[in-house]
């Protein structure tokens, strides 16, 4: 158990809908990262928050947004969903702002299926 909690584990929805994925980082970790994993693209970085502030941004679509709350949990909002958004979404956390200060701890992921 990594200590990172993601909900829901599975989600099935229709095109055009909006969903929210939630992540609780390990106790004491200030950084939260979101990654998207699809079959042929590996782990694609979406966005990082550190202590409530956006720290780094990857190839995150404009239809996607995220935030980190004062209690350090994070939510990833996916809207106007398309079939191609079907993927496994991972949240990870680390102690510091940069990964070089320690490892990333991953949750078990939220599997999103868009029909």
Residue 60 binds other proteins (CB under 8 A)? no
* 82: contact with other proteins by CB under 8 A: no
Q: Which residues, 6 or more positions from 67, have their beta carbon under 8 angstroms from its beta carbon?
A: 49, 74, 75
Burial degree of 37 (CB within 10 A; 0-12, 13-18, 19+)? middle
User: Of 90, 93, 112, 114, which one interacts with other proteins (CB under 8 A)?
Assistant: 90
Rounded distance, CA 27 to CA 38, Å? 28
Site for other proteins contains 25 (CB under 8 A)? no
Q: SS3 for 71?
A: coil
Query: Which CB, 3 or 16, lies closer to other proteins?
Result: 3
Q: Does 61 bind other proteins (CB under 8 A)?
A: no
Residue 10 CB neighbours (<10 A): 9
Query: Of 17-25, 55-63, 69-77, 78-86, which segment contacts other proteins by CB under 8 A?
Result: 55-63
| Contacting positions for other proteins (CB under 8 A) | 2, 4, 31, 33, 35, 40-43, 45, 48, 55-56, 58, 90, 92, 97-100, 103-104, 106-109
């Amino acid at each position: 158990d990594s200590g990172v909690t993601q909900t829901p584990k599975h989600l099935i929805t229709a095109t055009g809908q909006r969903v929210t994925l939630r992540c609780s980082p390990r106790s004491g970790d200030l950084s939260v990262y979101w990654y998207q994993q699809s079959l042929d693209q590996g782990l694609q970085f979406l966005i990082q928050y550190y202590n409530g502030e956006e720290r780094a941004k990857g190839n995150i679509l404009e239809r996607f947004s995220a935030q980190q709350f004062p209690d350090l949990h994070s939510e990833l909002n996916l809207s106007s969903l398309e079939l191609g958004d079907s993927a496994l979404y991972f949240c990870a956390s680390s102690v510091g702002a940069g990964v070089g200060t320690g490892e990333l701890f991953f949750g078990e992921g939220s599997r999103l299926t868009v029909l």
